[in-house]
Amino acid sequence: MLLSAVIGVAVASAAALAPRWLDEAVMRVTDIFMAIPGLVMALGITAVLGPSLWSIVIAMTVVTWPATTRITRNVLRETMTSTYMEAGHVMGISKPRLMLRHALPNSLDAVYVFASMEFSGAIIMMSGLAFLGVGAPPPSADWGSMVAAGQESITTGWWVALFPGLAITVSAAAFSLLGDGLRRINDPSFRATL
């Protein structure tokens, strides 16, 4: 998720600073990546690269960077058109400096919230890949491969598959709740109701 956030923020920053035609081209590329189902794309990438931890990291990065780019670019575009940014531009501050010093730091809250919520999806997708047999190789412990190993003995040793499945569910729900909590803290409309 960290690698995906870095790539997404870098591409979104470049797109927000670029001319309109280049920004539209970058957004169409992200749309193409987002149109392909994430699990199918990750399964294809890990099948080509072979089962390893690095192939999963690469697959998860390729699957998740477009959504991070889209969210960050929208927030940056909104921030760049705000009054204080226009005032800075009128004062002679360059657009790249406004982006790096003001727009990007003010937009990172959305990235933090989105990344924490995407983390739960990444846990589920990584477990799904390991369950299908294209995850990390057997010496490494993976909840998905533990569930896959436990399905053979589901009638006699149901706990072998149950507890890794519960770990997947609880951790995914915890990161989802963390993202929701961060969103509530950072959103002024939610702060007024607390």
- CATH number reported for the structural domain that contains residue 102 in this entry: 1.10.3720.10
- Residues contacting residue 135 through CB under 8 Å, at least 6 positions apart: 46, 51, 56, 126, 127, 129, 142, 144, 145
Long-range contacts of 170-176 (CB under 8 A, 24+ apart): 171/120, 171/123, 172/120, 172/121, 172/123, 172/124, 173/120, 174/120, 175/116, 175/117, 175/119, 175/120, 175/123, 176/117, 176/120
Total domains in the chain come to 1
Say what the pLDDT of residue 53 is. Answer: 81
Six-digit token string for 91 = 């004062």
Q: How far is CA 71 from the centre of its chain?
A: 10
Say what the pLDDT of residue 191 is. Answer: 56
Question: What is the mean pLDDT, run by run of 10 residues, along the chain of 194 residues?
Answer: 86 84 88 88 87 85 89 85 79 81 79 81 85 76 82 80 89 85 71 54
Gap between the Cα atoms of 101 and 115, Å rounded: 22
Say what the pLDDT of residue 170 is. Answer: 92
Say what the pLDDT of residue 192 is. Answer: 54
Gap between the Cα atoms of 107 and 86, Å rounded: 16
- Tell me which residue range forms the domain holding 44: 2-193
For the whole model, what pTM was predicted?
A: 0.76
Gap between the Cα atoms of 98 and 73, Å rounded: 15
From the DSSP assignment, how many helices (H) and strands (E) are in the chain?
10, 0
**Please, what sign has the CA dihedral across residues 7, 9, 13, 19?**
positive
